[in-house]
Every structure is written in C-alpha cells, then in structure tokens.
C-alpha cells in the first residue's frame, strides 16, 4: 500500500507516468468513467478548502466512485478531542482511500502510519502540498511542453506557502531549472529549503525583494497569497499582505510567453485586470488539478 506525503514520494519516471495517465483521462474520459465503481474516497479536511477538496471529490465521482467526509474539524469528532490516529482507523473501515488536510505539519503522515488505506496529504500546515505540486507540474508540462530549461520566479509568502516548498522539491530534479525567490525579508524561504534542498544540490537561485527588476528574466511567475492563517499577529499580516500586486504595468516587463501561475485562492496579489492577459494560466491550472488527482487515485488504488 502506498501513500502520498510529498512530491518526492514519486520518482521522476513515476511522475511522468502519472501525468501521461492524467493526459489520457483528459483526452478520453469515457475510458475511465467506471474504473472506481464501488470504491469510496474520504475527504477529511481539518482546514478550509475549495479546490483541493472539491477537485478530489469531482475526480472520484468522474471515475465512478463515491465520496464521504468532513469539510471542517468542527463537524467531525476532532471537536470532541479525537486524535488523527484514531480518526484514520475509523475512516479506514468506511473508505478505500483518504485525502487529508490538516493545519498541523506532519498530521497526514501520522495518519498514514496508522492507516489501512492509502492516505494523500492534501496540505499540512506550512509544510507540503504535494497534489498542488502535481497540478503545477502538469500545468507547466502541458502548456510549456517540458519541465526542464526554465527560470521560475516564486513570489509572495515563501515562508508559509506550502505549495512553494513542495514545488521547489519537485522541480530541482529537472535539468537546467533555476529559481528566483521574490519576497519581503520576513517571508523568505525557510532555511531548511535554502540549505538542505537548494545549496546541497547545487541548484542555482537568487533571492530578491523587488518584482519589477526580475520580471524580464522569468519563464514562469508563480504568485502566492500571504498566508494569513499562519501569522502570529494580525498587524504583521496587514503590513505584508499587499507587498506585491501583479498588474498590467508589471506584466508589460515580462517575456511575451511568460506564464503566470497561482495555486489560488487569490486575495489581492494579482489584479483582476491581469486575468484577460493570455499569459495568465491560473484558472486553466485548476482543471489540470482534477485530472492529475484522478490519475493519482487510480494509481494509489492500483487500478491502472
């Protein structure tokens, strides 16, 4: 039995197979419409979500399976003090696979260690968000044709943004990828990413504060929101929340084929005037997320 806790749980070859499968599902959905007949997905979300939870549910329903679960910790027995370890044992009796989001880093890993069914980390605190990374990889591969040879700028809350941490871990395995980290000093990438992931693997990167200065060199700009829910005080959040706002003026500095991605939800960091720019890919990105989650469910349930 296999779980997904981090994008590193899959080799590059396995990721390619997963993306190939997702592409086939996208092209020939009827071939997969009954693959999960009789199977049940549990979505156990202790933190709010729109995309991740609903795309997992849509993915399972489109595969012919059924879904159950809870969308907030308050509506589960966590509110009465039940541990994640106990909850997953219960869920294991009701479902065949579980997607779990939790505010505590490592909680899905604890669940996986006690589970009798595959567990997917659907986001744990400020740590990892592997299925968002699968989504991002598939979006880049589908729209750019490759995951190699690019300069990617990651902008915003690089400290708490778990999608950023997972994406860096995944992309360092591809050829000729360099990173530009754009953040206020308070929201720089964590030391463990800088030291243990980038420096240790000789990955080229630089850290800057001003977005305008680096726009012309980027092939991809990955915007992120400032993660209000991870701040210790509201004052810091208010001071930093509008540090970056991508607008038409900034887009005019970028390459003609630069791609703008965002895991969403967006708050203010991308002005709505950018939505009509043909380089804005963040709404397309969402749809890739559903196909890759369909591929992931099939793979973890060993139905391919």
Q: Tell me how far, at minimum, the Cβ of 147 lies from ligand CP, in Å.
A: 19
Residues recognised as catalytic: 51-52, 80, 101, 129
Q: Tell me how far, at minimum, the Cβ of 101 lies from ligand CP, in Å.
A: 7
Mark the segment that binds ligand CP (CB under 6 A) among 12-20, 86-94, 260-268, 290-298.
260-268
**Nearest alpha carbon to residue 21 among 291, 284, 300, 303:** 291
Helices (H) then strands (E): counts for the chain: 11, 9
Q: Does 76 bind ligand CP (CB under 6 A)?
A: no
C-alpha count within 13 angstroms, C-beta hemisphere, residue 153: 25
Name the burial class of residue 177, with classes exposed (0-12), middle (13-18) and buried (19+) by CB atoms within 10 angstroms of its CB: buried
Q: Does 139 bind ligand CP (CB under 6 A)?
A: no
Q: Does 265 bind ligand CP (CB under 6 A)?
A: yes
Residue from the set 180, 218, 264, 294 that interacts with ligand CP by CB under 6 A: 264
Whole-number Å distance between alpha carbons of 125 and 101:
8
Q: Tell me how far, at minimum, the Cβ of 51 lies from ligand CP, in Å.
A: 4
String of contacts with ligand CP for each residue 35-74, x by CB under 6 A: --------------xxxx----------------------
Q: Does 285 bind ligand CP (CB under 6 A)?
A: no
Size of the site for ligand CP (CB under 6 A): 9
SS3 of the chain: helix, strand, coil, percent, to 5: 45, 15, 35
Whole-number Å distance between alpha carbons of 221 and 250:
11
Q: Tell me how far, at minimum, the Cβ of 89 lies from ligand CP, in Å.
A: 25
Whole-number Å distance between alpha carbons of 91 and 51:
22
* Residues found near ligand CP in the complex (CB under 6 A): 49-52, 123, 132, 263-265
């Amino acid at each position: 039995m296999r779980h997904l806790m981090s994008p590193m749980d899959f080799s590059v070859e396995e990721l390619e197979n997963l993306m190939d499968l997702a592409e086939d599902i996208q092209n020939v959905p009827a071939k997969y419409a009954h693959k999960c007949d009789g199977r049940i997905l549990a979505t156990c979300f202790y933190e709010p979500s729109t995309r991740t939870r609903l795309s997992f549910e849509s993915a399972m329903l489109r595969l012919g399976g059924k879904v159950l679960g809870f969308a907030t910790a308050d509506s589960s027995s966590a509110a009465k003090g039940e541990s994640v370890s106990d909850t997953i044992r219960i869920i294991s009796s009701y479902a065949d696979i579980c997607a779990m989001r939790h505010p505590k880093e490592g909680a899905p890993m604890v669940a996986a260690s006690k589970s009798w069914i595959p567990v997917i980390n659907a986001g744990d605190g400020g740590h990892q968000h592997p299925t968002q990374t699968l989504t991002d990889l598939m979006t880049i591969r589908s729209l750019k044709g490759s995951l190699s040879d690019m300069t990617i700028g990651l902008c915003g809350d690089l400290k708490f943004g778990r999608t950023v941490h997972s994406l860096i871990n995944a992309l360092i395995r591809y050829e000729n990828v360099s990173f530009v980290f754009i953040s206020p000093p308070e929201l720089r990438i964590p030391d463990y990413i800088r030291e243990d992931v980038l420096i240790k693997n000789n990955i080229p990167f630089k850290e800057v504060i001003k977005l305008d200065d680096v726009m012309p060199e980027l092939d991809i700009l990955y915007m992120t929101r400032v993660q209000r829910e991870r701040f210790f005080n509201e004052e810091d959040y208010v001071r930093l929340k509008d540090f970056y706002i991508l607008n038409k003026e900034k887009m005019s500095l970028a390459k003609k084929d630069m791609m703008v991605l965002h895991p969403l939800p967006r708050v203010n960091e991308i002005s709505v005037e950018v939505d009509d720019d043909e380089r804005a890919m963040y709404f397309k990105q969402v749809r890739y997320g559903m196909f890759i989650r369909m591929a992931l469910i099939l793979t973890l349930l060993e139905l391919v």
